[in-house]
Amino acid sequence: MSEMLTFTGGFAATNGYVLEAPGGWVVVDAPPGMGGFLRERGIEVAALLLTHSHLDHVMDAAEVAAGGCPVYAWGESTPEERLEPLFAQWTGVAVRVPPYGVTHPLCGEVGREVEVAGLAVRVAHVPGHSADSLVYVVEGAGLMFSGDTLMAGGVGRSDFPGGSHEVLLAGIRREILGWPAGMVIYPGHGPATTVGEELRSNPYLS
């Protein structure tokens, strides 16, 4: 892997990432605007990894995968898991995520490494923010994509359907904090951080 780009878009300022892997470009999450970001740069996507199915992370998944690239996620999602009814209830605006298919469900690959466009990616299941939350670790590059589980100085919300603060914290301790202190964490919202920094300063982990 030689290059990585970050895109932030949508009402929730959601991060998406684009990595140059041996087999092409790998995209992690698809917030609103990600499709246009990729088109402007002429990036052909080799694979799409989704950390979870909340609508701010998958709104552009269909567009990103339109060229036929494989899509990796926990599994297929429902409107409730995507928070479509809840968003409509809160805002009065009906939002529908364009349909996308999950070609590579990862619910059976937890704790294993999968090869994604020539990149070895370890899959960890860290529920609590959502039931289907995955964390992706590229150990050889010393980086992690944490979705909405752990962020700089904070953790994901646990008041959505399927959420649990206690389950989330237990998963973070089990699957994230045991990695080397220098492991760089790229979260679904906000700036990058490291395992060591979160162990030192994150008030939710004390």
**Tokens standing for 64?**
């990103």
Contact 188, 50 (CB under 8 A): no
180-192 CB burial, b ≥16 within 10 A, e <16:
eeebebbbbbeeb
Q: What is the pTM of this model?
A: 0.97
Say what the pLDDT of residue 2 is.
64
Cα–Cα distance, 107 to 75 (Å, whole number) = 7
58: phi > 0 → left, psi -120 to 50 → alpha, else beta; which? alpha
Per-residue pLDDT of the chain (206 residues; tens, 9 = 90+): 568 999 999 999 999 999 999 999 999 999 999 999 999 999 999 999 999 999 999 999 999 999 999 999 999 999 999 999 999 999 998 999 999 999 999 999 999 999 999 999 999 999 999 999 999 999 999 999 999 999 999 999 999 988 999 999 999 999 999 999 999 999 999 999 999 999 999 999 98
Domains of the chain with bracketed CATH: 4-205 (3.60.15.10)
Among residues 105, 59, 103, 89, the alpha carbon closest in space to that of 161 is found at 89
The string of DSSP letters for 81-102 reads: TTTHHHHHHHHS----PPP---
